[in-house]
Amino acid sequence: MQTYLKQVTPDSLAEAGAIIRSGGLVAFPTETVYGLGADALNENAAAKIYEAKGRPSDNPLIAHIADMDMLEEVCTDIPEEAYMLADRFWPGPLTMILKKKDIVPNETTGGLDTVAVRMPDNPVALELIRQSGTPIAAPSANTSVRPSPTTAQHVYGDLDGRIPMILDGGDVIIGIESTIIDLTSEIPAVLRPGYITPGDIEALIGSV
């Protein structure tokens, strides 16, 4: 497969959106790391991510959304805390685990009845999600043995020949992964530390 490394333009964004809609893969920048994206609601597309990364398919993916309508499209039983956290930290490097709707396939969630959701703070990522018209499942855009990529060149060096397109939106700003909080447990729990600290979260919703 030929891999096209493209600067972000209206044309390349439209092309990338068309690839996502048709079930293909596009690597794109978020503020944390470069992501390897596919339609989060298309089971075949999500499966392609595991294949390209060489990642075990029971490892769940984060669904990236562009607005709160998309949150309600993929999640149900959304607690008040989720809206408070979204209001304060989205767009940004906070991933929330919530109960999934049936529309989200098992390939995206690794068979779980919950889904990880986040709104990235990167204009290219947000515009790609809008153009695709669907939440985009995206782990870091590296094969499983390599570190998470912070430049489009890193992605190209690792995934050349495995994916059709890389959108070059410049270097990422944060370079570490999002904080993950589980809001489906009785007491919200931080599952993965990240840029946003437990203290930041506790200040808003109480102890975690």
| Residue type at 4 in one-letter notation | Y
Q: Residue 135 or 149: which CB sits closer to Mg ion?
A: 149
Q: How far apart are CA 179 and CA 191, in angstroms?
A: 8
Q: Residue 12 or 136: which CB sits closer to ligand AMP?
A: 136
Q: Residue 124 or 183: which CB sits closer to ligand AMP?
A: 183
Provide the β-strand partners of residue 165.
4, 26
Q: What are phi and psi of 117, to 5 degrees?
A: -135, 140
Q: Residue 66 or 136: which CB sits closer to ligand AMP?
A: 136
Strands 4-7 and 26-29: unpaired
Site for Mg ion in 144-173 (CB under 5 A): 148
Q: Which does 97 bind (CB under 5 to 8 A by kind): ligand AMP, Mg ion, none?
A: ligand AMP
Question: Which spans of this chain sit near ligand AMP (rule: CB under 6 A)?
Answer: 59-60, 62, 97, 109, 112, 114-116, 139-140, 177, 180, 191
Cα distances from 135 to residues 60, 92, 116, 138, in angstroms, run 15, 16, 11, 9
DSSP-derived secondary structure letter, 141: S
Q: Which does 62 bind (CB under 5 to 8 A by kind): Mg ion, ligand AMP, none?
A: ligand AMP
> Which positions touch Mg ion (CB under 5 A)?
140, 148
